[in-house]
Structure 1
Amino acid sequence: MKPLSGGSQNELYLVDRGGEQMALRRPPARDVAASAQVLMREARLLRALAGTDVPHARLRGVTDDPAVIGAPFYVMDLVDGWSPMNGGWAAPFDTDLEARRGLAIELVDGAAKMARVDWRAQGLEGFGKPDGFLERQVDRWLSHLSGYKFRDIPGLDETARWLREHTPRTFEPGIMHGDYQFANVMYRHGAPAKLAAIIDWEMATIGDPLLDLGWVLVGWPPEGDAMKYARYLDYGGMPPRDDMLEHYARVSGRDVSYVDYYVILARFKLAIVLEASVARHVKGEADDRVARFGPIVLELMEFAASLSRTTSLR
């Protein structure tokens, strides 16, 4: 087996068997017990996606028996494609802005296809706790932050208050990736743009899929053009937000008129998630690479609070 890049929680390896290449995913050696449950959830999700039109790596096999290789693992198809996280936009998307537009439409298309899967029919009953999902979000993430908070985050209280006051009364539960963005998809080689697979399902659950749409739009133009730290790719050539919303609504069949709530919630949650890494760095428990998250956290919360003041959702 040869190590492959990809995934933040579990290890990925290339397996070559009889000339056929596959990918094996297992927990890190330092944290097998804690990561095994997440790994088995990923495998269950991939199995459930079989037969759907959601781009994903086909599951080949899974076991929670550590006797085989020393840890639980699963094997899936090796995705033939490229990731924007491996050096930015691949050719021709690095220079052809019209072709790059297609990458965005494909990204939101993947989220829309996830949202329309009949998750109960696919065997995902009990995979998440959709009842009260949105009502739990603010308190859950504030509680999470309280375990490591070391500085003031301007806009935090204002955003939390707005989110509590504007939580949608109802939503249609569905499969939610939980960290849906360019960093967690792969594209087929060459133009036109085509999504090859959605990857890294560690945070997947049954919740409100519109939060995945909000996650996509965290730094989207034109509002996101003012962000100095939170973007990690060149958004030149990207379609306007309205085009993204129209495509998502048409494919998913979901109402996107309340999307600002989900963008604000996504910024709020992402800021708190990244702040955990910043706190570890301050304590000397993380390397210097995560120091760059410091200003990103503040910017995300600033933009969450700013949007809450200007949105027409009242």
Structure 2
Amino acid sequence: MAEPIAEPQPSSSPPGLDPERLRAHLDRERPGLVAGPLSASLIEGGRSNLTYRVTDGTGWWVVRRPPLGHVLATAHDMAREHRVITALGPTAVPVPGTVLLCEDPAVLGAPFYVMDLMPGVPYRDAGQLTALGPERTRAVVLDLLDTLVSLHTVDPAEVGLEDFGRPEGYLERQLRRWEKQLAASRSRDLPGIDRLREELTRRVPASGAPAVVHGDYRLDNVLVGDGDRVTAVLDWEMSTLGDPLTDLGLLAMYCDQEPVPDTPVSVTGTAPGHPSTGELVERYAAGSGRDVSRLPWYTAFACFKLAVILEGIHYRFTLGRTIGAGFDRIGSLVPAFIAQGLTNLRED
């Protein structure tokens, strides 16, 4: 049986969500959905957009909205998240049911959408998997992989997502994007990172058939329920049409890393029973029919991407803009991901 989700303490009005205004909007747009006054609580663990659990005492929902005071609407596109989840609803990909999209910032101060609360547990690290035991850990991770195959075998045109992204030149644009991110937060010497970026650029593979790409696919972005099966894939804010092996490369990278205690970096591969990366890649190839021979490039790209993300966190920490356990050690992790990326490229 799945462990119950810990219930946060409800608040009359958590930052960014006014339950009374939300209920008035739902009563107008979905009359009869809500049976009484709403209470809401912020769900911890979100890395960008804010996520709330909302209840009227009988029914439960989830609300997603951009962070407070954000200015880049394209980086927190609620309509885009709502669209992809809604489109995938009839497919084999487990996603929450969508209830409503509101693009009027007058209601909650920003666009938002409402979806069903799904059962399940987010496993965030190897320690939580270890507590399950080897057999259950293996089942969870294999279903995580099989769910990725299900996502990548969806025909975008059949679910109305044929214009959800620009697959042509996707990898090149991704490299330029993360190069710009690096430039924006670069405050110290990072030996090897320019060589990693240059080699990735020089060796860009030819992409296969495009697919819906999640963009941040890993264990702590899904819920796992009864039978150790994935009940919902969450956090679609980076989704697009592109090269699906970027998802596989990122998942493989996280499965390969050693755990780093007391930091926000979540890795799982050291848990007893966790399938090897080789087994996961072979299973993906068999299930998807895709050529995975260039996967070392994709895992190297995943290392570069994470190194840039961590360097950005480190930079904000040095400016006093990031507070929390483990952030003081984030900067020391960056060189290891650079080195791992260069090692992976030698296998490409």
TM-score under structure 1 length normalisation: 0.88
The CA distance in 1 between the partners of 2:149 and 2:216, in whole Å, is 14
Look up the SS of the partner of 2:101 in the other structure: strand
Classify 1:9/1:231 alpha carbon distance in 2 versus 1 (closer, same or farther; 3 Å): closer
Classify 1:86/1:302 alpha carbon distance in 2 versus 1 (closer, same or farther; 3 Å): closer
Q: Which residue of 2 aligns with 1:75?
A: 114
The CA distance in 2 between the partners of 1:140 and 1:28, in whole Å, is 21
Residue of 277, 289, 293 corresponding to 2:330: 293
Query: Please, what is the CA RMSD of the aligned residues?
Result: 2.5
- The alpha carbon displacement at 1:277 in A equals 1.1
Q: Which residue of 2 aligns with 1:84?
A: 123
Q: Which residue of 2 aligns with 1:266?
A: 302
Segments of 5+ residues of structure 2 without an aligned counterpart are 1-38
Look up the SS of the partner of 2:120 in the other structure: coil
Q: Which residue of 2 aligns with 1:214?
A: 249
Classify 1:31/1:161 alpha carbon distance in 2 versus 1 (closer, same or farther; 3 Å): closer
- The alpha carbon displacement at 1:246 in A equals 2.0
- The alpha carbon displacement at 1:199 in A equals 0.7
Residue of 118, 121, 127 corresponding to 2:158: 121
* Contact 1:115–1:175 (8 Å) recurs in 2: yes
- The alpha carbon displacement at 1:26 in A equals 2.0
The CA distance in 1 between the partners of 2:337 and 2:163, in whole Å, is 32
Structure with larger Rg: 2
1:31 equivalent in alignment to 2:70: yes
Classify 1:245/1:262 alpha carbon distance in 2 versus 1 (closer, same or farther; 3 Å): same
Q: Which residue of 2 aligns with 1:46?
A: 85
1:96 equivalent in alignment to 2:133: yes
The CA distance in 2 between the partners of 1:27 and 1:44, in whole Å, is 16
Classify 1:219/1:65 alpha carbon distance in 2 versus 1 (closer, same or farther; 3 Å): closer
Letter in structure 1 aligned against 2:44:
S
Segments of 5+ residues of structure 1 without an aligned counterpart are none
Classify 1:105/1:250 alpha carbon distance in 2 versus 1 (closer, same or farther; 3 Å): same
1:250 equivalent in alignment to 2:286: yes
Residues paired across the two proteins, number: 305
Q: Which region of structure 1 is more displaced relative to structure 2, 5-14 or 25-34? A: 25-34
Classify 1:86/1:147 alpha carbon distance in 2 versus 1 (closer, same or farther; 3 Å): closer
Q: Which region of structure 1 is more displaced relative to structure 2, 52-61 or 247-256? A: 247-256
- The alpha carbon displacement at 1:180 in A equals 1.0
Classify 1:143/1:174 alpha carbon distance in 2 versus 1 (closer, same or farther; 3 Å): same
1:164 equivalent in alignment to 2:204: no
* Contact 1:154–1:302 (8 Å) recurs in 2: no
Classify 1:236/1:155 alpha carbon distance in 2 versus 1 (closer, same or farther; 3 Å): farther
- The alpha carbon displacement at 1:150 in A equals 0.8
- The alpha carbon displacement at 1:198 in A equals 0.9
The CA distance in 1 between the partners of 2:57 and 2:315, in whole Å, is 47
The CA distance in 1 between the partners of 2:142 and 2:55, in whole Å, is 34
Classify 1:255/1:24 alpha carbon distance in 2 versus 1 (closer, same or farther; 3 Å): same
Classify 1:38/1:87 alpha carbon distance in 2 versus 1 (closer, same or farther; 3 Å): farther
The CA distance in 1 between the partners of 2:81 and 2:62, in whole Å, is 14
Letter in structure 2 aligned against 1:38:
D
The CA distance in 2 between the partners of 1:177 and 1:107, in whole Å, is 13
- Note the alpha carbon deviations across 1:226-283, whole angstroms, 9 max, x for none: 9888654443321122220122122222221211111111111111122111111112
The CA distance in 2 between the partners of 1:62 and 1:187, in whole Å, is 26
Look up the SS of the partner of 2:114 in the other structure: strand
The CA distance in 2 between the partners of 1:139 and 1:195, in whole Å, is 33
- The alpha carbon displacement at 1:166 in A equals 1.8
- The alpha carbon displacement at 1:18 in A equals 6.9
Task: Give the number of the structure with larger relative contact order, counting CA–CA contacts within 8 Å between residues 6 or more apart.
Answer: 1
- The alpha carbon displacement at 1:143 in A equals 2.0
Q: Which residue of 2 aligns with 1:194?
A: 229
Q: Which residue of 2 aligns with 1:203?
A: 238
- The alpha carbon displacement at 1:10 in A equals 2.0
Q: How does 1:2-13 map to 2 (within 5 A)?
A: 2-3=40-41, 4-13=43-52
- The alpha carbon displacement at 1:37 in A equals 4.8
* Contact 1:187–1:193 (8 Å) recurs in 2: yes
* Contact 1:264–1:308 (8 Å) recurs in 2: yes
Classify 1:36/1:173 alpha carbon distance in 2 versus 1 (closer, same or farther; 3 Å): closer
The CA distance in 1 between the partners of 2:72 and 2:341, in whole Å, is 36
TM-score under structure 2 length normalisation: 0.80
* Contact 1:218–1:263 (8 Å) recurs in 2: yes
- The alpha carbon displacement at 1:130 in A equals 1.3
Classify 1:254/1:157 alpha carbon distance in 2 versus 1 (closer, same or farther; 3 Å): same
The CA distance in 2 between the partners of 1:260 and 1:102, in whole Å, is 25
The CA distance in 1 between the partners of 2:156 and 2:49, in whole Å, is 25
Look up the SS of the partner of 1:75 in the other structure: strand
- The alpha carbon displacement at 1:95 in A equals 4.5
